[in-house]
Structure 1
Amino acid sequence: MRQQKIRGHRRRHKHIEEWRLKNLDLRLDLIQKYNGDHIDIVVHPWCDISIIDSAIPEPKGKTKYLMLSGLIDIYDSWKKQLDKIGQSYYLKIWLYEPRFSKSQVVCAVGDKISYYENIFFKSDNIARLEPNNFGPIKSRIENLNWDWRVDEDHFDNNEVGEPGLYSTLADFEESKKWFTRTLRKPHRTTKIDETTELYSFKRGCIWLGGQK
């Protein structure tokens, strides 16, 4: 699949700044209602779903650094606000590589803390984030602790569903073929219960960043 050409970088950078400023304030109403909040990188075209036969390339260069710097600013701002609440909390930057545009800041309180602390698979391999790879924001990367986790796509054995869910039988058969081909790729399997298995396919890594 060919990649789209990203144009108008000056305009994109302006949108990144607007996104950063808009999300510096923690949404305490969501924290109280759902015990958590998160912010994605909501900057076009990276937050869009491609509707043409091409892929949106991941941000790079100055655009990537501005986005990551924005995530760190949001993290710092949220931390100051969470410290005032006076209760335990989870707060991390989730830095995806190579799927950088999925990166986000995530916070949680109460029973959601344990959920987020254990949401990603932890491999026995040991990896270290290299600050030198982040050019002008190297020092900001060095000011945080970064733990390594595995970025995966997950499917279960009920992924295809029943024929009645499809417009035609041919669509159902095509979906079954796709799932059979997918399961031939390397993955790990987790048994959820007596009837459900989860299949996890590695896509990259996730760096979990938080204050030292």
Structure 2
Amino acid sequence: MHYHSKKKKIRGWKRHKRKIDRWKRHAMTFPFDELHAHKRTYVKLTIHPFYISFEGKLPAWFVREVFDAVLDVYHSWHEQLQLLHEPYDLMVWLFDPDFMKSQVVVSYRDCLHFYDQTFEQREQQRAFPTDKFVNDPMKVNDMNWQLCIHTTDWTKEIFDGWLEDDLITRQELDRYKRNVYETMVLSNGDLLYLIDSGNVWIGKHTQEG
């Protein structure tokens, strides 16, 4: 039996829009205790059911509403972090097409450069698609954006297991492998495939910290 994604039909968009406001109100308060303890922290888009089980296409207006809330959180965190009077690295990660993976992350002190190598920049950079993601362009006027690769990685052992258990077809496996941009050999001899799964836009203030 082959695996097929179940795309759920979502109803009650007004109710889901209210969830955005609740998420934003909760996220606006900066978690200083966590930052001091771990020297880094983040906030994800924990808006049910989209961040767990939803695999359909989100309406464009909903994406812009959510990302406007993300930007509000980012700017609020930026203002609160000024109280530290020391360097920090605050950024937005916007995933496309896996939009609900987007988050706001920050690091400082011993972990100031913790996220420097998280994503690899795309060779061909382009302008940030403001019209696609933002209702209020003023919210991104003071931000720089870099286009990076959203990488997922799977081993040959995992792929072979999927085929053996009929979780994917040979055609689906070939489609995965067409998006492989780097292959590595692990210490146990297994192959690790790094797959280009889309874009990540990394945004931060033009003058940070």
TM tier, smaller: 0.7 to 0.9
Match of 2:173 among 162, 176, 181: 181
Count of matched residue positions in the alignment of Structure 1 and Structure 2: 199
Match of 1:206 among 197, 200, 203: 200
TM-score, normalised with respect to structure 1: 0.80
Of stretches 136-145 and 113-122 in structure 1, the one that deviates more from structure 2 is 136-145
Cα distance, 1:81–1:9 mapped onto 2, change above 3 Å? same
The residue number in structure 1 matching 2:89 is 90
Structure 2: how far apart are the matches of 1:70 and 1:199? 35
Alignment of 1:1-212 (within 5 A): 1=5, 3-49=7-53, 56-134=55-133, 136-156=135-155, 159=158, 173-174=164-165, 181=173, 184-189=177-182, 191=184, 194-195=187-188, 198-212=192-206
**Identity, % of aligned positions:** 20
Of stretches 89-98 and 182-191 in structure 1, the one that deviates more from structure 2 is 182-191
> Which letter maps to 1:174?
D
Verify the 8 A CA contact 1:46 1:58 in the aligned structure 2: no
Structure 2: how far apart are the matches of 1:158 and 1:67? 37
**1:89-140 CA distances to partner (integer Å, 9 max, x unpaired)?**
1111101111111111011112333231211012222222122334632332
> Which letter maps to 2:128?
L
> Which letter maps to 1:132?
D
Structure 2: how far apart are the matches of 1:2 and 1:65? 24
Gap regions ≥5 residues in structure 2: none
Gap regions ≥5 residues in structure 1: 50-54, 162-169
Cα distance, 1:68–1:172 mapped onto 2, change above 3 Å? closer
Structure 2: how far apart are the matches of 1:93 and 1:84? 20
**1:157-202 CA distances to partner (integer Å, 9 max, x unpaired)?**
56579xxxxxxxx989438987993674331235476556542111
Choose between structure 1 and 2 for higher RCO, CA contacts under 8 A separated by at least 6 residues. Answer: 2
Q: CA offset at residue 209 of structure 1?
A: 1.0
Verify the 8 A CA contact 2:64 2:135 in the aligned structure 1: yes
TM-score, normalised with respect to structure 2: 0.81
Query: What SS class does the counterpart of residue 150 from structure 1 fall into?
Result: strand
The residue number in structure 2 matching 1:164 is none
